[in-house]
Amino acid sequence: MSFVEKNMPENSFDLVVVGGGPGGYVAAIRAAQLGMKAALVEREHLGGICLNWGCIPTKALLRSGDVLRSMKHAESYGLSAGQVGFDLSKIVARSRAVAGQLQAGVKHLLKKNKVTVFDGHGKLAGGGKVAVEGKGMLAAAHIILATGARARVLPGLEPDGKLVWTYKEALVPDSMPKRLLVIGSGAIGIEFASFFNALGSDVTVVEVMDRVLPVEDEEISALARKSFEKQGMKILTAATVKALKKSGDSVTATVEIGGKTQEIVADRVISAVGIVGNVENLGLEGTKVAVEKTHVVTDQWCRTGEAGVYAIGDLTGPPWLAHKASHEGVLCVEKIAGLKDVHPLDIRKIPGCTYCHPQVASVGLSEAKAKDKGHQVKVGRFPFVANGKAIAMGETEGLIKTVFDAKTGELLGAHMIGAEVTEMIQGYTVAKTLETTEAELMHTIFPHPTLSEMMHEAVLDAYGRAIHY
Amino acid sequence: MPIQILMPALSPTMSEGTLARWLKNEGDAVKSGDVLAEIETDKATMEFEAADDGVLGKILVAGGTAGVKVNQPIALLLAEGEDKSALAEAPPAAKPAAAAMPPPPAQPAAAPPPAAASSPEGRVFASPLARRLAAESGLALDRVAGSGPHGRIVKADVEAALKAGPQPATQPAARPAAVPALVPQAGPGPFEPAYVEIPNSSMRKIIARRLTEAKQTVPHFYLSIDCDVDALLAVRGDLNARSEVYKLSVNDFVVRAVALALKKVPAANAAWGEEAIRRYTDIDISVAVATPTGLITPIVHHADRKGLAEISNEMKALAAKAKDGKLMPEEYQGGGFTISNLGMYGIRDFAAIINPPQGCILAVGAGEQRPVVRNGALAVATVMTCTLSVDHRVVDGVVGADFLAAFKRLVEDPLAMLL
């Protein structure tokens, strides 16, 4: 398949990607690498929510929180930090600078790869065309929709940007809320709860499910809750916020829990009750692109019902993860290019990370889900408190847990809570992708002294062979 | 019902041997032709192959056991669809022991210990989980199409293969009685003509592997010579008229001539080794024999010490055994030099592929009347063209030429062969 036709009109492309987030820009770069003439249409900012209002700036904030926490514990390391304090505006400024630096980086990468970027809102215009608001019409043999998602709004809990925040306002607070109510204990809610808690806010988390971080393994959820409560958070699970009553500079939330209602007064509320796909104003009307609830329906190669139109990332539904979007972008483009060695995405091999304190990371099936699916399981556990490096670091809180199929030795899932687990989960993800069994993991040599040794021990423990516990 | 694997007899005189070590573990998937174990006799260590597909259910005689009687059960093989519970069933069906892999040729006393004759077959790329799933269900991985990166076999492929149902039955290894099953193919590829699949016997696989290895790794060169065989044919007719006890063929003369020529030019009776060239002190000549299942090379041992009648009768017996698949390993394993004769099929000349680790193979064409020039005048003679394929690592051109010259002298002056 040859892509770059000579004398192609200026506004004709092999591929037009609508949306410049981690799905879209990666797809465009991969297409350019494969010799396609590629364009990217972005209405707001390259890098999308992830880079500008999500993954990256929250990590910057959380880092400030972590450093502050360490400074407060300086004495336990034999250090004196003197007066420990912070300047919220500087923390926020640093976070914005980090996002800004990376945004410039994406712009440079696109330029380097000769991807043409159009600033403006793009939508399907029928017949292989994309209309870019204020810029005119682009013709494309292939169109990838990668418009992402936004915060879900529940009736009665509508954010106003002042007292009731979404992630966006929460990333750029102008003052520290003394009392903060976080609705939703998924990754977004818990990360903000963790950050503001570290800075001294009185944080209450309300979760409709019966546990925090409901997508994680139940044991990990329970350990996380215990840790959050120890740090001073108030956690209400199986609880629903019925109404928010705003008054001047505070909000009174009516929360129903266990058949009773109670009122919680907070200075600010963060609504983190899920996200919905940006399916509106995309020109989907009259096409064969199917929309289910708030996401575009695609097949394993990210194809929509409309020939030549593809969709990737958050727009296509959960899991709402940047790395899922990027991976789909690459496989979608490679399939378009006719590459041979392209493989559909396997949802059980997508790792998930939450950067609260302590961190949480996982890949694959939880113990309960594995059993639900009919697996006989072997479960291994190894606690941070038994690991030399963790003790040396003063990070003895946490657990690594593995779930194996008892019959085949397949690593079904791995679940971690504790320091640096978001960096370690990749070890198990590689293992899952290569389809290793317990045997190869046991044969793998883990360096000493590291936190990763616990990953080895958690495998050994599943087979009754842990050495250090 | 599980199949009993019996201790094989690796030579006609073998009554017991040492089961040196198992190369498969209980629970491993085994396919016909896989090496199961190494068996030691007083002469050599040989690889013992599976004759059937299945899962090695139970090892009855542990590796390292000496004095194991021939035909004593040494393991139980679970056939497809059987699980371990079948091991409790009694009595298991007995299966004769399968043929062993050819060991390296007999070594002079001073030579280093022989290296394993076989190299592992082509590696199958599969994920560890896919391997384990296949082993547990007795699925041979080389029958599974891989869908993973670079065609690697992954879990989903094994599951799909298991779901697709049982695999076609395979033929036992190298058993001459076996008629290869012709498996009609429902749908050939888009451009491929219709075909039937003839499953490869273990023997066919060994031939394929060894010849491929030889042609790819041995630097061959070829020397051809024309021999006038009128005198030879006359002597042959004369000798055959004298007795009913023997009936000499041209090939018997060729074997004898090669044996005597090798005695004169021992450098051509040699094999390549990484550290040393092995110059054989015995003159053991392999003679290629076509059988229904493939080519095999029975050996005339010490051919230089045998007369024409003895060679002739021995060759007849060996060829008959080869065609019936009854050759014992010691009758076809080893040899220092090979003769391949297609003269009886009217082939004028051809170049054979060396039979490793031997250094030379002689391809013998048909004796036919051709015009020749003698003393400046045209004459008619019966001429036989012989082509020597030579491993240049072992034998240089002049040595090869010396050998052919010695051979030609003997063939053209057959009375010299009688000395």
Contact between A435 and B154 using a beta-carbon 8 Å cutoff: yes
Q: Say whether pLDDT at B109 is over 70.
A: no
Smallest Cα distance from A339 to chain B, Å: 12
Q: Say whether pLDDT at A146 is over 90.
A: yes
Give mean pLDDT, residues B283-296. Answer: 88
For A353, the token pair is 């990370």
Residue span(s) of chain B under CATH 3.30.559.10 come to: 218-418
Q: Say whether pLDDT at A6 is over 50.
A: no
Alpha-carbon distance of B31 to B135, in angstroms, equals: 11
pLDDT for res B113: 34
pLDDT for res B185: 46
Give mean pLDDT, residues B34-38. Answer: 84
Write down the catalytic residue from A73, A108, A343, A448: A448
pLDDT for res B35: 83
Q: How far is the CA of A115 from the CAs of A21, A41, A337, A408, B190, in angstroms?
A: 14, 10, 16, 46, 39
Beta bridge partners of B383: B228, B368
Q: Say whether pLDDT at B137 is over 90.
A: no
How high is the mean pLDDT of chain A?
95
Using a CB–CB cutoff of 8 Å, tell me whether B129 touches chain A. yes
Q: Is A448 a catalytic residue?
A: yes
pLDDT for res B387: 97
Rounded to 10 degrees, the C-alpha dihedral A279/A285/A287/A288 comes to 60
pLDDT for res B100: 41
Using a CB–CB cutoff of 8 Å, tell me whether B158 touches chain A. no
pLDDT for res A225: 98
Smallest Cα distance from A427 to chain B, Å: 16
Give mean pLDDT, residues B10-28. Answer: 79
Alpha-carbon distance of B411 to B409, in angstroms, equals: 6
**What is the per-residue pLDDT across A29-46, written as a single tens digit (0 to 9) for each?**
999 999 999 999 999 999
Mutate: best of A331, A435, A438, A459, partner B, most B CBs <10 A:
A435
Closest by CA position to A429, among listed A307, A308, A345, A370: A345
Percent of chain B at pLDDT > 70 equals 83
pLDDT for res A121: 96
- Per the omega criterion (within 30 degrees of 0), is the bond before A155 cis? no
**What is the per-residue pLDDT across B155-178, written as a single tens digit (0 to 9) for each?**
999 988 888 765 444 433 333 333
Q: Is B407 helix (H, G, I), strand (E, B) or coil?
A: helix
Smallest Cα distance from A453 to chain B, Å: 22
Q: Nearest CB to B129: which of A341, A343, A435? A: A435
Contact between A436 and B127 using a beta-carbon 8 Å cutoff: yes
The CATH number corresponding to B218-418 among 3.40.50.300, 3.30.559.10, 3.30.420.40, 3.30.420.10 equals: 3.30.559.10
Q: Beginning with the edge strand found earlier in the chain, give each strand of the sheet holding A260-266 in spatial order.
A: A239-247, A250-257, A260-266
Q: Say whether pLDDT at B43 is over 70.
A: no
pLDDT for res B116: 30
Residues 6+ apart with CB under 8 A from B91: none
Confidence of residue B44 (pLDDT cuts 50, 70, 90): low
Contacts of B132 in chain A (CB under 8 A): 408-409, 437
CB B289 within 8 A of CB B343: no
Q: Say whether pLDDT at B102 is over 50.
A: no
Using a CB–CB cutoff of 8 Å, tell me whether B144 touches chain A. no
CB B279 within 8 A of CB B266: yes
pLDDT for res A102: 96
Contacts of B133 in chain A (CB under 8 A): 408
Q: Is A356 helix (H, G, I), strand (E, B) or coil?
A: coil
pLDDT for res A289: 96
Contacts of B148 in chain A (CB under 8 A): 343
Q: Nearest CB to B132: which of A341, A343, A437? A: A437
Rounded to 10 degrees, the C-alpha dihedral A369/A370/A372/A376 comes to -160
How high is the mean pLDDT of chain B?
81
Give mean pLDDT, residues A10-22. Answer: 95
pLDDT for res B186: 46
The residue type found at B184 is P
Among A13-17, A176-180, B100-104, B411-415, the minimum mean pLDDT is found in: B100-104
Q: Say whether pLDDT at B205 is over 50.
A: yes
CATH number of B106-166: 4.10.320.10
pLDDT for res B179: 41
CA–CA–CA angle A49, A53, A58 (5° rounding): 125
pLDDT for res B166: 59
What are A's interface residues with B at a Cβ cutoff of 8 A?
A: 341, 343, 407-410, 434-437, 439-440
Instruction: Please give the residue of chain A at the shortest CA–CA distance from B156.
Output: A435
Give mean pLDDT, residues B17-32. Answer: 84
CB A136 within 8 A of CB A119: no
Q: How many CB pairs under 8 A join A and B?
A: 30
Alpha-carbon distance of A36 to A211, in angstroms, equals: 47
Smallest Cα distance from B271 to chain A, Å: 41
pLDDT for res B95: 43
Residue span(s) of chain B under CATH 2.40.50.100 come to: 3-89
Contacts of B147 in chain A (CB under 8 A): 343
Q: Say whether pLDDT at B191 is over 70.
A: no
Top-confidence residue, B189 or A403: A403
Q: Say whether pLDDT at A208 is over 90.
A: yes
Using a CB–CB cutoff of 8 Å, tell me whether B155 touches chain A. yes
Closest by CA position to B312, among listed B395, B413, B417: B417
Contact between B128 and A439 using a beta-carbon 8 Å cutoff: yes
Q: Say whether pLDDT at A4 is over 80.
A: no
Q: Say whether pLDDT at B180 is over 90.
A: no
Instruction: Please give the residue of chain A at the shortest CA–CA distance from B135.
Output: A408
* Element (DSSP H or E) covering residue B329: helix B329-332
Among A206-220, A384-398, A413-427, B276-290, the minimum mean pLDDT is found in: B276-290
Give mean pLDDT, residues A165-178. Answer: 95
Q: Say whether pLDDT at A167 is over 70.
A: yes
Contact between B128 and A341 using a beta-carbon 8 Å cutoff: no
CB B353 within 8 A of CB B184: no
What is the DSSP pairing of strand A38-42 with strand A12-18? parallel
Top-confidence residue, B8 or B248: B248
Contact between A435 and B149 using a beta-carbon 8 Å cutoff: no
The sign one gets for the Cα dihedral B18, B23, B25, B30 is negative
Closest by CA position to A247, among listed A155, A158, A162: A162
Contacts of A439 in chain B (CB under 8 A): 128
pLDDT for res A42: 97
pLDDT for res B249: 93
A286: left (phi over 0), alpha (psi -120 to 50) or beta: left
Tell me which residues of chain B, numbers 376 to 395, contact chain A at a CB-CB cutoff of 8 Å: none
CB A171 within 8 A of CB A61: yes
**What is the per-residue pLDDT across A233-272, written as a single tens digit (0 to 9) for each?**
999 999 999 999 999 899 999 999 999 999 999 999 999 9
Class of the CATH-defined domain B3-89: mainly beta
Alpha-carbon distance of A233 to A197, in angstroms, equals: 7
Alpha-carbon distance of A177 to A192, in angstroms, equals: 12
The residue type found at A184 is G
The residue type found at A326 is S
Phi, psi of A64 (to 5 degrees): -60, -45
Instruction: Please give the residue of chain B at the shortest CA–CA distance from A343.
Output: B148
Give mean pLDDT, residues A288-308. Answer: 95
Top-confidence residue, A5 or A456: A456
Residue span(s) of chain B under CATH 4.10.320.10 come to: 106-166
